Amino acid sequence: MKQKLFGVRNDWTGVVLRLTLGIVMLPHGAQKMLGWFGGPGFQKEMLHLTEDVQLPWLISLLVILIEFFGSICILAGLASRLWAIAFFILFTGIIFSSHIEFGFFMNWFGNQSGEGIEYHLLVLGICIAVFLNGSGKFALDKMLSVK
């Protein structure tokens, strides 16, 4: 079981996939957790998720923790498959709670009242690929998969 979760292929595919996911998600997590990149920070994001989006406080906390710590771990190649599952669940929830009503396309031209799901589907696809492939070269998972 440990080998299935943490086993790595010595390939570049896993590296490209996890770096793509981690680099894209880290600023979002840092906005929510630390207030970086013009983000609200932890307290304001918790307030937004619990009051505006009406998520339970535990789910709101998990959203912030997954986006911040998950992106760091994925960048490092640490438990990438597990974090890919967490991101997959997170983004499935994001699609159905906030974006499906706006259709497929992002709001490129400002002519709809919200963002569609195309970005989220790309994240889901990358999560599936990271789960199937693993972390690739230069991953901390390699240390965890040693028998």
Q: Within a 13 Å sphere around the CA of 75, how many CA atoms are in the beta-carbon half?
A: 14
The residue written with tokens 């990271």 in the block is 130
pLDDT tens, residue order, the chain (147 aa): 666 666 677 899 999 999 999 999 999 999 999 999 999 999 999 999 999 999 999 999 999 999 999 999 999 999 999 999 999 999 999 999 989 999 999 988 888 889 999 999 999 999 999 999 999 999 988 877 665
pLDDT value at residue 112? 87
Distances (CA, A) of 65 to 7, 17, 48, 92, 102: 24, 21, 15, 16, 26
Distance CA 91, CA 114 (A): 16
pLDDT value at residue 73? 97
pLDDT value at residue 142? 80
Contact 83, 110 (CB under 8 A): no
pLDDT value at residue 9? 74
Contact 40, 109 (CB under 8 A): no
Distance CA 53, CA 106 (A): 19
Q: Quick check: pTM over 0.85?
A: yes
Query: Per-residue b/e over 62-76, b at no fewer than 16 CB within 10 Å?
Result: bbbebbbebbbbbbb
